[in-house]
Amino acid sequence: MRRLLFALFAFAISLGAAPPARAATLQLIELHCRVPQEKDANGDELRLEISPDTGSRVTLRQNNMKKGTTWSLNKTIPFHKSAQLRLTELDTHKDGINFRDEDLGRIGVTSAVSPPGRDDFPAIQYATFKGNGAHYVLSYKVVANPGRAFEVVSLRCVTTQEKDNDGDELRLRIRADGGSEITLPKNGVKAGSVWNVGRKLAFFDKVTLRLIEHDGFGIHFRDEDLGTRVVTTPTIGTGTVEFTGHGARYILTYRMTVR
């Protein structure tokens, strides 16, 4: 039983199963001030921090926020399952005195979108920040990202890296989003030959392709990195990328469609 479970697990890894893809986009619309935290005539100095679970924090700032004013955000941020938002009123250094920033609140946004059949017209959602006597209302949308299908069609050799008669021993490594890496081998590749790969996989954000010329095993052999290329979601249709490291030249043809 253990051997069977291990075999199934290895097979799933070879397919690049369950990549942690970016599944949605957060569209920030505007932030409206109903009650500022500061009571003076200058209004609030705000910092809005957005931390998606993809790891890339975004920070936005706006000054002079007073009662009744609206901050047009118009910002889109991709994320996987969740994003955290934090609103802070900044109390800057004045007259040699350090003032403490005021935390106006934190909210969490998930990748759950409108009911089935309504993703093309996601509803506007609202969240409030009421910390330290303030009252701000944030309007936003959560839009589902359509999945992509990526196919490695073929790899054509223009110039080999090895100059002997045996040709190149290739290892094509493919990674969808941040998932498991897939390695496809092909030996004896010579100039003018075409490797019909025909490998398909699903992704959301990007596909990373790396081509290696494998020089066997042992201390006297070192693999040659022929290059790494990244294909992103805006590229729909058929395209090509080239690998030109260490004197080689390979042209990879791919096809991308919306699932």
8 A C-beta contact, residue 103 and residue 129:
no
Rounded average pLDDT over 160-167: 91
- List, for residues 198-235, the tens digit of each pLDDT value: 999 988 778 999 999 998 655 556 899 999 999 986 66
- CA-closest candidate to residue 65, choices 100, 30, 29: 30
- List, for residues 41-55, the tens digit of each pLDDT value: 999 999 999 999 877
- List, for residues 55-103, the tens digit of each pLDDT value: 789 999 999 999 999 999 999 998 888 999 999 999 876 555 667 899 9
More confident residue, 123 or 169: 169
Q: Residue 123's pLDDT is what?
A: 85
The structure's pTM equals 0.54
Share of the chain above pLDDT 70, in %: 81
Beta-strand pair 125-129/168-176: unpaired
Alpha carbon distance 95, 105 (integer Å): 28
Alpha carbon distance 207, 201 (integer Å): 9
Beta-strand pair 206-213/44-52: unpaired
Q: Which domains does the chain have, with CATH numbers?
A: 24-144 (2.60.40.150), 147-258 (2.60.40.150)
